[in-house]
Chains A and B, each alone.
With several copies, the nearest count.
Chain A
């Protein structure tokens, strides 16, 4: 088993999927000879050629719409949106078509495709390169949403997403692309959509998060243990839709305290939905209000202020303190 970075695991998953299924095609900007701006598609054009690794004109609505037509007519496109903020021009295709082709046609037409979106901040990039686009689609039914936090899951979830019969928004924590390596099995395996992972067990509080902030939460959990002796249970949601409600609610019922962490703006984030779900299913178990750790209700700032905006372990620790000492 090789030790791979997260971006290598993505590359590996794409290669495995393309070898296995000739209907898998990649579309995006600069994904061919350049291998993608993050190198997710590095060298794939050498093996699969320009008909399957398709460098597109600079038009996200264009390749999203064309990919939808391809998916409807039998291919399995995997679209790379170069950065989260550039999903915006494709919004109409995503919101008004991608999400509802099966529903609208009562199953006659389907749209099995994956939209890969390098997501969130922390790499000190320019404006619009650090958005939390999961929340643009939270209230638009019909899209599965996946967010891995490590190389193993990234590969397994991406393969599962590509094999899924329905459209999947696949959000990749770009800040983790090269942050560390982990063991990734060779060849084909999947991590099923809709199953959260308890990445740290504990009984004092539940921390719910996904993507990059699984690591922020784990760091805070270690500090909480060291400083206060509190054992936090950290849950990596992995998939926002379908959501593993049983694991979430089971843990909150066990611990009686919950912290939700995501770096999206405060209002209307997935963290808000998690609080609403806890309200629906476990309110009477709560010893304290659920604590939200999130970005603020301002645009992601330019890079000198990124650290002010993005949640860090200190803010998660504060939230743990809040739910513990309420």
Chain B
């Protein structure tokens, strides 16, 4: 017997939370924590993210960077999911597309650039910034988030750990195992799923049949919510609730942020093969940055010239970071061998010498 009741009601049970409409007007009064200063700061961060994301696409096309995964269109999720966390006491476990959230958490842009340029130093978050390196294998990092939150809980701390994934990231077994562990052990993990409707070329209809991702929460008896991923105020609001729940021992939350990436999956991808131009345009009309700008402007203390100044400041900051990143030396031979273990094994020391000797013969020891 098919249980029609809840199924076809996935969308009713999990309505999309929205605070700010596309025209920049509010649907509900803002909570206290969303002060005007916070909103401006959030706006500033979204602009900065948009600028550097677009810059990276260019750098890659110029051959100055390796494969890059852009998030433009998803800035509300990137900023909103990380903004309320404490960098030194909470944790994030990002995917290749969540470098925006990493930056919000405190990872300098230079690191992110170096990562995509192909230097492991880019994966080394500053001390005091609990941003785990990017996990490429889909959904694996959701379990790390469970473990990090759980470790905090066992020590009596109110750690929150956010695990990121996309719509495609709900399909691997680790997604299920992570939600189940978080449920059974009631840990303060937040699963922040950016449903941008495609996993590379695969549309969500090929990824799952249920109308929402949020309804997966029912399977684990945990909290679940859908949110308008183009509305940063809504994302901040649901994150605020999820963080409160986690800190107060209320357990995990599954958040489905309904969003869209404007660009290709990565710079190796051509979205025209699988996505219609109209779909893109439809989403661009709901742009998260423009939406917040309208609201700020309507409030009367955000002018066009403020805006221009902000965008050009962002461009300058990004240019400086790019220059800094490009000036950094290539990773050394020592770095290749010295970080696998706390102490390199005799075997690794032998191999390091072997490689150094070879390079010395070959190029006069130019590197390392």
B-binding residues in A (CB < 8 A): 25, 29-30, 32-35, 37, 51-52, 54-75, 85-86, 88-89, 92-93, 96-97, 100-110, 124-129, 141-142, 144, 165-166, 194, 241-243, 245, 266-267, 296-299, 301-306, 308-309, 314-315, 318
| Cross-interface CB contact of B339 among A92, A96, A106, A302, cutoff 8 Å | A106
Question: Which segment of B41-49, B70-78, B341-349 sits at the interface?
Answer: B341-349
| Cross-interface CB contact of B91 among A73, A96, A297, cutoff 8 Å | A73
Cβ A301 vs Cβ B181 within 8 A: no
Cβ A309 vs Cβ B137 within 8 A: no
CA distance A54 to B130 in the complex (A): 25
B134 CB, min distance to chain A CBs, angstroms: 8
Residues of B within 8 Å of A309, CB to CB, are 336
Task: Select from chain B the residue with minimum beta-carbon distance to A124.
Answer: B66
Residues of B within 8 Å of A71, CB to CB, are 147
Q: A67-B147, A105-B125 in contact; A58/B155 too (CB < 8 A)?
A: no
B331 CB, min distance to chain A CBs, angstroms: 5
Residues of B within 8 Å of A102, CB to CB, are 339-342
Residues of A within 8 Å of B94, CB to CB, are none
Task: Select from chain B the residue with minimum beta-carbon distance to A267.
Answer: B347
Q: A58-B172, A67-B147, A266-B351 in contact; A315/B358 too (CB < 8 A)?
A: yes
B26 CB, min distance to chain A CBs, angstroms: 36
Residues of B within 8 Å of A97, CB to CB, are 135, 137, 140, 144
B299 CB, min distance to chain A CBs, angstroms: 40
Interface-centre pick from A65, A88, A144 (highest chain B CB count, 10 A): A65
CA distance A245 to B347 in the complex (A): 8
| Cross-interface CB contact of A243 among B151, B159, B202, B347, cutoff 8 Å | B347
CA distance A73 to B90 in the complex (A): 10
Contacting A at CB under 8 A, from B118-169, are 118-125, 127, 130, 132-138, 140, 142-152, 154-155, 159, 161, 168-169
Q: A29-B199, A128-B136, A304-B118 in contact; A66/B143 too (CB < 8 A)?
A: yes
Q: Is B273 an interface residue (CB 8 A)?
A: yes
Cβ B140 vs Cβ A96 within 8 A: yes
Q: A68-B144, A302-B119 in contact; A89/B137 too (CB < 8 A)?
A: yes
CA distance A247 to B242 in the complex (A): 57
Q: Is B274 an interface residue (CB 8 A)?
A: yes
Question: What 17 new A-B contacts, CB under 8 Å, besides A125-B66, A165-B342, A308-B336?
Answer: A29-B199, A34-B201, A59-B171, A59-B177, A61-B172, A62-B143, A62-B171, A65-B143, A66-B150, A68-B144, A69-B151, A73-B152, A127-B134, A241-B345, A301-B331, A302-B118, A305-B119
Cβ B171 vs Cβ A69 within 8 A: no
Cβ A73 vs Cβ B201 within 8 A: no
CA distance A75 to B154 in the complex (A): 9
Cβ B171 vs Cβ A74 within 8 A: no
B149 CB, min distance to chain A CBs, angstroms: 8
B208 CB, min distance to chain A CBs, angstroms: 7
A-binding residues in B (CB < 8 A): 66-67, 91, 93, 96, 115, 117-125, 127, 130, 132-138, 140, 142-152, 154-155, 159, 161, 168-169, 171-174, 177-178, 180-181, 184-185, 199-202, 206-208, 268-269, 273-274, 330-331, 333, 335-337, 339-342, 345-348, 351, 355, 358-359, 361-362, 367-368
Cβ B154 vs Cβ A25 within 8 A: yes
CA distance A243 to B174 in the complex (A): 33
A223 CB, min distance to chain B CBs, angstroms: 13
A324 CB, min distance to chain B CBs, angstroms: 16
Q: A73-B91, A104-B123 in contact; A33/B201 too (CB < 8 A)?
A: yes
Residues of B within 8 Å of A89, CB to CB, are 137, 172-174
Cβ B124 vs Cβ A106 within 8 A: yes
Q: Which 4 A-B pairs have the closest CB atoms?
A: A69-B147, A65-B143, A303-B118, A62-B177
Residues of A within 8 Å of B122, CB to CB, are 302
Task: Select from chain A the residue with minimum beta-carbon distance to B180.
Answer: A57
Interface-centre pick from A102, A103, A124, A266 (highest chain B CB count, 10 A): A103
Cβ A70 vs Cβ B148 within 8 A: yes
Residues of A within 8 Å of B178, CB to CB, are 62, 65-66
A182 CB, min distance to chain B CBs, angstroms: 25
Q: A102-B340, A125-B67 in contact; A302/B120 too (CB < 8 A)?
A: yes
Task: Select from chain B the residue with minimum beta-carbon distance to A27.
Answer: B147
CA distance A32 to B155 in the complex (A): 20
Task: Select from chain A the residue with minimum beta-carbon distance to B155.
Answer: A74
B180 CB, min distance to chain A CBs, angstroms: 6
6 contacting pairs across A/B (C-beta < 8 A): A57-B206, A62-B174, A89-B173, A93-B140, A106-B121, A241-B345
Residues of B within 8 Å of A110, CB to CB, are 342
Cβ A128 vs Cβ B119 within 8 A: no
Residues of A within 8 Å of B346, CB to CB, are 194, 242, 245
Residues of A within 8 Å of B331, CB to CB, are 301-302, 304-305
| Cross-interface CB contact of B137 among A86, A266, A301, cutoff 8 Å | A86
Cβ A303 vs Cβ B148 within 8 A: no
Cβ A166 vs Cβ B342 within 8 A: yes
Residues of A within 8 Å of B173, CB to CB, are 59, 61-62, 89
A138 CB, min distance to chain B CBs, angstroms: 12
Residues of B within 8 Å of A61, CB to CB, are 143, 172-174, 177
CA distance A302 to B127 in the complex (A): 22
